[in-house]
């Protein structure tokens, strides 16, 4: 057996499909040709007539075989052209004269259907890609993509502003050259302070990985926190100063008034007989308001110096029942959930529950309603609700602003302190009005 150039046994060369179709047509006609030869040479005609008849029949057989070959190959070439167009991404070609009542027609119909499906899918992908590109371009967040070697391959306009250069000048530069090399090693989000040509400040950096052409790439998303923090800080200060100004004016106005009264009293010659009584009353008012301001500052100091939680494991049900027993003004009902132990700071959690329960009772007492405390376990979180039948929440955005209060004599610190405690434990606190009746629901979530 002959060997190929690599020294292996060469396989015998097969005839192509077209040749095999032609030979099979001749094989089908061979018995008829053989029968014709036998009849002609055994008959009464001359040899010349028999020979001419044989060659005419043979020529017709060859022509019919070639036509059979052409008709057999034509639909296959059509399907080949359609599949080649699909491979090249041209989904506009369609096979014609396709029917469901023959085998070749069914194949062409399926290819046409596949082409239409791929065309629609490519159109949908292009539309989504265009939308994604517009969204990324409109983001005020820097998005940068690096290849497996750490060279920049994509940057949106926000990234261009951050790096102080258009993408055509940044394309292909390494992460180290751009001052981002250490961020490509991050495994979790990080807040970092850094200076760039486009600005300096605090940045939140998130790194993700994706694949393109089978190779890993890195995606960096850099968010400028400075402007957002400054805007939120300014808004918080505005709210806080508004509340502080209100509280200070409430105390300073009577002090100023009493000081003016004392000045007029002492300027009167001769002094009135009851000047001592009037002066004592005025000084009492000044003292009361000064003491109120001292208490106000003490509450502010306590709020600002809340210590971090000291977690330990304790039975939550026992703590909840103890908090309920501390409220003597109204009998609070308990819809007890499962007995469970959680790991948290029991003193701070107790203080948060006391504040929330006190607010619920304060709101319910004027309506002679009821307050209920209930809890349940959702997955790995404790969900607690304090439900009252009071007048509901006021229309205000300042419920969690320190020292803001709608209650006469209220400190405006209970809700803020409760939320600060819950969030320090990784939980959530939300207030909302009831939909089934008058009142409010305080929803508290804590990780178990």
pLDDT above 70 for 12: no
CA atoms of 238 and 230, how far apart (whole Å): 12
pLDDT above 70 for 86: yes
Domains of the chain: total:
4
CA atoms of 176 and 293, how far apart (whole Å): 56
pLDDT band at 417 (very low <50, low <70, confident <90, very high): confident
Q: What is the pLDDT of residue 41?
A: 66
Mark whether 238 and 344 lie in a shared domain. Answer: no
Residue 202 lies in a domain: yes
Two structure tokens written together for 48: 């010349």
CA atoms of 73 and 16, how far apart (whole Å): 12
Residue 95 lies in a domain: no
Mark whether 318 and 380 lie in a shared domain. Answer: yes
Report the candidate in 181, 139, 131, 176 with the shortest Cα–Cα distance to residue 160. 139
Which helix or strand (DSSP H or E) is residue 121 part of? helix 103-138
Burial (CB count <10 Å: 0-12, 13-18, 19+), residue 374: middle
CA atoms of 161 and 222, how far apart (whole Å): 12
228, 246, 266: which is the final residue of a domain? 228
pLDDT above 60 for 267: yes
Expressed as residue numbers, the domain containing 155 is 135-228
DSSP per residue, 316-348: HHHHHHHHHHH--SS--EEE-----EEEE-HHH
CATH number of 211's domain = 3.30.450.20
Q: What is the pLDDT of residue 68?
A: 75
Top-confidence residue, 264 or 432: 432
Mark whether 200 and 245 lie in a shared domain. Answer: no
Two structure tokens written together for 427: 């939980």
185 DSSP 8-state letter: G
Residue 188 lies in a domain: yes
Sheet holding 215-224, edge to edge: 152-155, 142-146, 215-224, 199-212, 190-196
Segment among 4-13, 267-276, 295-304, 387-396 with least mean pLDDT: 4-13
pLDDT band at 42 (very low <50, low <70, confident <90, very high): low
Mark whether 83 and 189 lie in a shared domain. Answer: no
Q: What is the pLDDT of residue 31?
A: 67
Q: What is the largest CA-CA distance in the chain?
A: 173
CA atoms of 184 and 80, how far apart (whole Å): 47
pLDDT above 80 for 247: no
Which helix or strand (DSSP H or E) is residue 253 part of? helix 225-267
Residue 214 lies in a domain: yes
The average pLDDT across 352-365 equals 86
pLDDT band at 181 (very low <50, low <70, confident <90, very high): confident
Mark whether 297 and 319 lie in a shared domain. Answer: no
Question: By percentage, how much of the chain surpasses pLDDT 90?
Answer: 1
Residue 118 lies in a domain: no
pLDDT above 60 for 308: yes
pLDDT above 70 for 73: yes
Question: By percentage, how much of the chain surpasses pLDDT 70?
Answer: 74
Mark whether 246 and 363 lie in a shared domain. Answer: no
Mark whether 192 and 269 lie in a shared domain. Answer: no
207, 228, 249: which is the final residue of a domain? 228
Report the candidate in 357, 434, 354 with the shortest Cα–Cα distance to residue 389. 434
First to last CA, the chain: 78
Two structure tokens written together for 302: 């306590």
Mark whether 50 and 23 lie in a shared domain. Answer: yes
The average pLDDT across 414-443 equals 84
| Beta partners for residue 432, in sequence order | 441
Mark whether 435 and 317 lie in a shared domain. Answer: yes
Q: By the 8 A CB rule, do 103 and 94 touch?
A: no
pLDDT above 60 for 10: no
pLDDT band at 13 (very low <50, low <70, confident <90, very high): low
Q: What is the pLDDT of residue 237?
A: 67
Residue 203 lies in a domain: yes
Mark whether 299 and 323 lie in a shared domain. Answer: no
Q: What is the pLDDT of residue 397?
A: 53
CATH number of 441's domain = 3.30.565.10
| Beta partners for residue 155, in sequence order | 144
Q: What is the pLDDT of residue 91?
A: 81
pLDDT band at 236 (very low <50, low <70, confident <90, very high): low
CA atoms of 147 and 172, how far apart (whole Å): 9
Mark whether 321 and 388 lie in a shared domain. Answer: yes
CA atoms of 356 and 336, how far apart (whole Å): 17
Q: By the 8 A CB rule, do 399 and 415 touch?
A: yes
For the chain, give the mean pLDDT. 78
pLDDT above 60 for 32: yes
Which helix or strand (DSSP H or E) is residue 444 part of? strand 440-447
194, 228, 262: which is the final residue of a domain? 228
Residue 48 lies in a domain: yes
Two structure tokens written together for 408: 């006469």
Mark whether 140 and 178 lie in a shared domain. Answer: yes
Residue 414 lies in a domain: yes
């Amino acid at each position: 057996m002959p060997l190929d150039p690599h020294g292996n046994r060469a396989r015998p060369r097969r005839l192509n499909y077209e040749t095999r179709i032609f030979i099979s047509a001749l094989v089908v006609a061979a018995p008829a040709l053989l029968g014709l030869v036998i009849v002609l040479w055994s008959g009464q005609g001359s040899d010349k007539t028999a020979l001419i008849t044989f060659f005419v029949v043979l020529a017709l057989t060859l022509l019919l075989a070639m036509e059979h070959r052409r008709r057999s190959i034509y639909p296959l070439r059509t399907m080949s052209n359609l599949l080649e167009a699909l491979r090249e991404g041209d989904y506009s070609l369609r096979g014609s004269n396709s029917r469901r009542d023959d085998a070749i027609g069914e194949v062409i119909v399926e290819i046409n259907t596949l082409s239409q499906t791929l065309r629609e899918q490519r159109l949908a992908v292009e539309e989504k890609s265009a939308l994604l590109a517009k969204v990324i371009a409109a983001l005020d967040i820097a998005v940068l993509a690096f290849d497996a070697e750490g060279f920049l391959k994509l940057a949106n306009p926000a990234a261009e502003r951050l790096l102080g250069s258009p993408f055509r000048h940044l394309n292909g530069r390494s992460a180290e050259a751009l001052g981002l090399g250490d961020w490509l090693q991050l495994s979790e989000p990080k807040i970092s302070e850094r200076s760039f040509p486009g600005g300096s400040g605090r940045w939140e950096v998130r790194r993700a990985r994706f694949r393109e052409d089978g190779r890993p790439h890195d995606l960096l998303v850099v968010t400028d926190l400075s402007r957002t923090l400054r805007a939120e800080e300014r808004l918080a200060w505005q709210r806080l100063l508004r509340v502080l100004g209100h509280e200070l004016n409430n105390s300073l106005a009577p002090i100023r008034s009493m000081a003016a009264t004392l000045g007029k009293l002492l300027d009167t010659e001769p002094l009135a007989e009851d000047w001592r009584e009037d002066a004592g009353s005025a000084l009492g008012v000044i003292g009361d308001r000064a003491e109120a301001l001292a208490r106000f500052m003490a509450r502010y100091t306590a709020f600002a110096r809340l210590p971090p939680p000291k977690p330990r494991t304790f039975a939550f049900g026992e703590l909840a029942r103890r908090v309920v027993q501390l409220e003597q003004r109204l009998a609070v009902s308990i819809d007890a959930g499962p007995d469970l132990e959680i790991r948290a700071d029991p003193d701070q959690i107790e203080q948060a529950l006391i504040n929330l329960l006190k607010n619920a009772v304060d709101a319910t007492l004027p309506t002679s309603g009821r307050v209920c405390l209930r809890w349940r376990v959702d997955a790995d979180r404790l969900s607690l609700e304090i439900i009252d039948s009071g007048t509901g929440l006021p229309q205000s955005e300042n419920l969690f602003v320190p020292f803001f209060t709608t209650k006469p004599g209220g400190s405006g610190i209970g809700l803020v302190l409760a939320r600060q405690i819950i969030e320090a434990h990784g939980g959530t606190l939300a207030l909302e009005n009831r939909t089934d009746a008058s009142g409010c629901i305080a929803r508290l979530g804590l990780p178990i």
